[in-house]
Structure 1
């Protein structure tokens, strides 16, 4: 990922926040020289610098037979930035851009298929997401009709070796421009635009 110095983010707390915001990720592997790409919900755990994610594929998914090096993309908010929002737009001949936050995790995939681990994974995922929508569906390991569904999936662990984050938030502009853009983004209807505005304010130095 192209990362000018101004946009490099290294604080793993920023990764925690990205995953907490949206744990639906893009998983990229390579088979026979061709990329294989899937989009999956994952569970995230970090202890210090050690990061592990869990998820699963449908068993017929070709990626479900893969173990080895992989890249996982965590998508953050993003928003268009109009050059008309910059106070110095004329003097500096400003042009349009896009602000965003994203993380690329590189590591090793390991698969698992034992019933106990798959049941725990499905239960953990459902507990997390059912709570978010105000419901209470649970995987019931005592029910044969629930357990049989586990035969249709393959689980994975993704153990992260390197983390690369890019938070492109106009850090290469003077503070006046950054705050003006944040003001405009806060007026937009998109939640992601307002999220970008909040990130920009967090990372814009204040005087005094």
Structure 2
């Protein structure tokens, strides 16, 4: 990922926040011929210091379930179009349109799992996490044969990234008046744009220059 110094982020708490807000990732691998393949998956994430673990599963017929090895996981944050019309210096500096966004790229080795007990535990934790988010209470019941039978149709994975790159492009390369004007404009738009404005405001509050 191209990440100029002004937009590079090293604080892993920002990765925590991205995945707390949107734990639906893009996982990219290559097949035996070197062709790229992508899946879009809900995941469970946890971090202990510098160590990150991401877990999830595929449907067994998904070709990626046979792609254990090097992988790239893309974590998507909020993004929004930025109009040059919002900049106070738009004419003097001949400003052009751009896009503000936050994203993370995680690279490492993907490990697959088909052990029934491990899959049962994974599905239980996934359902507990996401059912709570929608106010429901479906649970995987390991004592039920019809539930256990469903495990035969999936392959689990564990992913411990060796490299983590975070890019938060939030108008850091603009003067303060431009940054404030963009955040103000984005706050008046849709929820996604407001989320970008929130990231900009939070970053502005910690600036020391």
Which TM-score tier does this pair reach, normalised by the shorter chain? over 0.9
Aligned counterparts, 1:1-208, within 5 A: 1-31=1-31, 32-188=33-189, 190-204=190-204
Counterpart Cα distance in 1 of 2:203 and 2:180: 10
Q: CA deviation at 1:65?
A: 1.1
CA shift, 1:207, in A, is: 8.6
TM-score by length of 2: 0.96
1:24-49 deviation digits (Å, cap 9, x = unpaired)? 00000011121011000111011000
Q: TM-score, normalised by structure 1?
A: 0.97
Distance 1:75 1:63 in 2: 20
Partner Cα distance (2:208, 2:53) in 1? 39
After superposition, give the CA deviation of every residue in 1:71-106 in whole Å (9 maximum; x if it has no partner): 000000000011110111111011110000000000
CA distance, structure 1, for counterparts of residue 34 and residue 153 of structure 2: 27
Q: What's the RMSD between the two structures over aligned residues?
A: 1.3
Runs of 4+ off more than 6 Å = none
Distance in 1 (alpha carbons) for counterparts of 2:191 and 2:108: 31
**How many residues align structurally?**
207
Residue 201 of structure 1: CA displacement? Answer: 1.0
Q: Which runs of 5+ in 1 are unaligned?
A: none
Gaps of 5+ in 2: none
